[in-house]
Amino acid sequence: MAKFPSPGGRIQISNHGGAQARWRADGKELYYIAMNKKLMAVSIDATNGTLKAGVPHALFQTRIIAPRIVLFQYAVSADGKRFLINSLPSTGTAPVTVLLN
């Protein structure tokens, strides 16, 4: 991760890779999909103009198609408490349909 728009120092978030990184609305947490398809969260501290990342922790296992896909397969609410996951159905279960009116 680096400052934008000017180049700056970088901090490593994961030792094991990840994809589809998304920020919580307040910028205090970063989410990503690990290679084992778990949704991960990392706290970010940006005080005094420097970035410090906490230790990544798994929130839950997903059933997404693949972690390294071009499009995002999940969305996160502004407060980081709810997630909408586009996942493969479990075997033998009926699909869930969400309608917004």
Beta bridge partners of 74: 85
Find the radius of gyration of the CA atoms of the chain.
Answer: 15
With a threshold of 0.85, does the pTM exceed it?
Answer: no
For the stretch 23-71, pLDDT in tens is 999 989 999 999 999 999 999 998 887 789 999 999 999 988 877 777 8
What is the percent of the chain with per-residue pLDDT over 90, rounded to a whole number? 44
Mean pLDDT score of the chain: 84
What is the percent of the chain with per-residue pLDDT over 70, rounded to a whole number? 83
Tokens matching residue 39: 């949704």
87 neighbors 73 (Cβ within 8 angstroms): yes
